[in-house]
Amino acid sequence: YESQLCGIDNKNIKPNKDCHESVSSISKAMADVLRDLDYVLSTDANYLLGHWIATARSWGETDSQKALLEFNARNQITLWGMEGEITNYAAKAWAGLVGDLYLPRWQVLFDALDDAISNGSSEIDMIKVGDQVLALGQKFSNGTKTYNPNPIDTPSAKASGQLFQKYSVLDRAKYPKIIHGVNVTSESMVGPMWTENIGQLGFLCATDPKCNGFTSEGMLFYGTFSTQPAAGVDSYVAKHAADNY
């Protein structure tokens, strides 16, 4: 997504201040999503890293046995071998794992993208990314942080409702202009997105300060745009672009 907007894989890429802002904004949004995922997972006993580790340690009789069992439990769901022989083979969407491993791994990728933009490179340094991801997995495998083996007190239904409100209900203050029965043509269109939910599209557009709005067909639009009649299609214009429409 951001590769398309910033020109990664385009041999004529140049450092771009606006693109830095977009990467920073989208990176923060991605971190929020992962923290929220970690939160909702922590409400269910079936999705807890803490339970996995506590169960593994319970098989040991001595401190050294418990430590070895914890290492193996951590390593199995991450690297499955100290050099990442089959990384992610047993990956899990568990509270604790999402927040403490997957989130930092995503940040490594966003940092690499930002470095490519800064250097005017046409490619992300995926060798460096791979080395950093491996190091994160090794650190996690050898970690000793204690995780709660029990779910938090917040019911799963309540946590899900909170996140539905955050991600699936349109924030009208950010999209004051809704144009019914028209489609948009712009300098740059991205999509269709993975959803046609209006609230989710609004969230996706709002993560990037360059996004001028979206259509009910799941397209985000950027730059100068125009409209044309289109039955059954609605276009939502972001607040910062509404005055220019």
**150-161 residue pLDDT tens:** 999 999 999 999
Query: Mean pLDDT in the chain?
Result: 90
218, 189 Cβ separation under 8 angstroms: no
H-run or E-run covering 173:
none
Q: What pTM did the predictor assign?
A: 0.86
- Please tell me the predicted confidence (pLDDT) of residue 118: 82
- Please tell me the predicted confidence (pLDDT) of residue 210: 87
CA distances from 47 to 43, 105, 186 (A): 8, 20, 43
- Please tell me the predicted confidence (pLDDT) of residue 17: 60
- Please tell me the predicted confidence (pLDDT) of residue 135: 97
Percent of the chain residues topping a pLDDT of 70: 92
* Residue 192 DSSP SS3: coil
Residue 19 pLDDT exceeds 70: yes
- Mean pLDDT to the nearest integer, 161-165: 95
Residue 245 pLDDT exceeds 80: no
- Please tell me the predicted confidence (pLDDT) of residue 1: 42
Residue 115 pLDDT exceeds 90: no
Instruction: DSSP letter for 95, please.
Output: B
Pairing of strands 211-215, 177-190: unpaired
- Please tell me the predicted confidence (pLDDT) of residue 65: 98
Residue 169 pLDDT exceeds 80: yes
- Please tell me the predicted confidence (pLDDT) of residue 18: 65
Q: Which residue has the tokens 């779910």?
A: 151
Res. 3 pLDDT band, cuts 50 70 90: very low
- Please tell me the predicted confidence (pLDDT) of residue 11: 47
- Mean pLDDT to the nearest integer, 42-71: 98
Of the candidates 113, 73, 71, 111, which has an alpha carbon nearest to the alpha carbon of residue 90? 73
